[in-house]
Amino acid sequence: MAYSEKVKDHYTNPRNVGEIENASGVGTVGNAKCGDIMRMYLDIDDKTHIIKDCKFKTFGCGAAVATSSMATEMVKGKTIEEALKVTNKAVMEALDGLPPIKVHCSLLAEEAIHAALWDYAEKHNIKIEGLKKPVNDIEELEEDEF
C-alpha cells in the first residue's frame, strides 16, 4: 500500500487528537463493522461562527487517522460556512492523495465535520445553510460516491 509522505506524517504525528470539554458540537460517524469510527469536537464562537478549536478521536487505519488529522487542521480558524467547503476531495488533495480503497476514509472525515456542525446547529436551534443531516452509516454513502 502506497501512502504519501503527508499521509505518513499525519498518522505518525496526528494533529489535534483529543477531546474538547463542553464542546459546541460533537459528531461521530462510521461503524465498527467497516473498521472506521471518527469523532470530531468543535469549539465554535457563537457570535462570529469561527471554529476556534477542533479535536478528534479515530478508530481506524492509517488513512482514517491521517484524514481526521488533516481535516481538523483545515477547519480550524475557519467560519462554519468556510468549513462546509472542506470536502473529502479537499482533504485528500491536501494529503497528496489516498490509495483507491482508502477513499472512504476521507469521506468519513467530511461526514464527521458535518455531523459536529449539525450537532452545534441543533443545540443552538439554528439552521446552517447547505448542511444536510449527516448519515451515520458510511456504507450508505459509498454506493453513490464511487
Partner 1 sequence: MGKLIYMDNAATTFVDKRVLDAMTPYLTDRCFNPSSIYDGAQDVHADLDNARATIAKTLNASDREIYFTACGTESDNWAIKGVAHANADKGKHLITSKIEHHAVLHSMAALEKEGYEVTYLDVDENGFVSVDALDKAIRPDTVLVSIMYANNEIGTIEPIKEIAEVCHKHNVYFHVDAVQAYAHLPIDVKELGIDMLSASGHKFNAMKGTGFLYIKKGTKIQNFMDGGAQEFKKRAGTENVAGIIGMAKATEIAHSEMKERMEHETKIRDYMIDRILKEIPYSKLNGDRVKRLSNNLNIGFEFIEGESMLLALNDLGVCASSGSACTSGSLDPSHVLLAIGLPHEKAHGSLRLTVSHETTMDDAKLVCDNLPKIVERLRSMSPLYEDFVKKNK
* Contacting residue, 23, 51, 54, 63, with partner 1 by CB under 8 A: 63
Three-state SS for 56-76 is: EEEECCHHHHHHHHHHHHHHC
Gap between the terminal Cα atoms of the chain = 20
With contacts defined by CB under 8 A, name the span among 28-36, 44-52, 78-86, 125-133 that binds partner 1.
28-36
Identity at 4, one-letter amino acid code: S
Determine, following the binding rule CB under 8 A, whether residue 28 of this chain makes contact with partner 1: yes
Q: Is 61 a catalytic residue?
A: no
Q: Does the footprint of partner 1 cover residue 48 (CB under 8 A)?
A: no
Selecting among 23, 29, 95, 105, the annotated active-site residue is 105
Q: Would you count residue 35 as binding partner 1 (CB under 8 A)?
A: yes
| Cβ-Cβ contacts under 8 Å for 47 (sequence gap 6 or more) | none
Closest CA relative to residue 107, chosen from 69, 68, 80: 68
DSSP state at residue 132:
P
Q: Which stretch binds partner 1 (CB under 8 A): 7-15, 44-52, 81-89, 117-125?
A: 7-15
Answer yes or no whether residue 145 interacts with partner 1 by CB under 8 A.
no
Residue written as grid cell 443531516: 133
- 97 lines the binding site for partner 1 (CB under 8 A): no
Tell me: does residue 96 bind partner 1 (CB under 8 A): no
